[in-house]
Amino acid sequence: MEEGGSSTNSSEEIVYPFVARFSLFDDLFRITCGFLKLLQVSSEKVIVKDSGGRTVESQLLPLSNATLRIRNRYVKAYLGKAPSETLKYWLAFSASVPPLGFSTYTVSIAKPTGPSSTISMVYTSEDSTSNSIEVGQGNLRLLYSADEGKLTHYVNNRNKVTASAGQSYSYYSGNDGTDKDPQASGAYVFRPNDTFSINSESQVQLTIVRGPLLDEVHQQLSPWISQ
């Protein structure tokens, strides 16, 4: 008796889970183009595709500690417990919408060996070898002082213009009203009594985030002010 055998090689198709789909509407009579930063993700392997299945360039920007604290606070307030998953990045990608039309983009987990979003490079002002740090894409750039940790100038390369720029923070105390005018400051009524400037007690370190689509600057100016 002749004994024989056969084997069958089978490959199982891996289905990568769907994450989100966005439809963008345009009520203007012109094409609208720009960058979207509207989804927080936990995976480094994310891909964005348009309605035709074409890969769209995208970028992952790390979530700041201030953003994570706010998210954790809201999740605990609504669900009564801390979030089970730690998100790591903002997802940004370029999008365009036709006049009076809409465009659809799909965000999903990328294949292990396929293309995926670019992870931003992150460094601090202490790592800079120059006192002036330039941030921005395209014609408009912002200049920060590494020594002071402050915005100092903006540059418009199209018009060859460089001008001074700065940021300041303040808060106002609400007006309680008077006998002649009892209207107090409150919901939908902006009636300040006085304005007070907020000054940082020391130099604030800059965290610079760079990528192919956009750059960001993060600062923690006080326990309750961050940008």
Segment 51-68, tens digit of pLDDT: 999 999 999 999 998 889
Residue 6 in domain: no
Q: What are the distances in angstroms from CA 22 to CA 33, 132, 136, 148? A: 15, 39, 26, 41
Judge if 107 and 154 occupy the same domain: no
Q: What's the total number of domains in the chain?
A: 2
Judge if 64 and 159 occupy the same domain: no
Question: Tens digits of per-residue pLDDT, 188-204?
Answer: 888 888 888 887 766 78
- pLDDT bracket for residue 8 (50, 70, 90): very low
Judge if 127 and 139 occupy the same domain: yes
Residue 7 in domain: no
Judge if 22 and 111 occupy the same domain: yes
Question: Tens digits of per-residue pLDDT, 22-33?
Answer: 788 877 777 778
Judge if 45 and 99 occupy the same domain: yes
Residue 10 in domain: no
Task: State the number of CA atoms in the 13 A half-sphere of 131 facing the CB.
Answer: 4
Spatial neighbors of 28 by CB under 8 A, at least 6 apart, are: 99, 100
pTM, two decimals, is 0.80
Residue 5 in domain: no
Judge if 70 and 171 occupy the same domain: no
Residue 1 in domain: no
Judge if 138 and 156 occupy the same domain: yes
Judge if 107 and 41 occupy the same domain: yes
Judge if 64 and 160 occupy the same domain: no
Print the domain residue range for 125: 121-227
CATH code (residue 108)? 2.60.40.1180
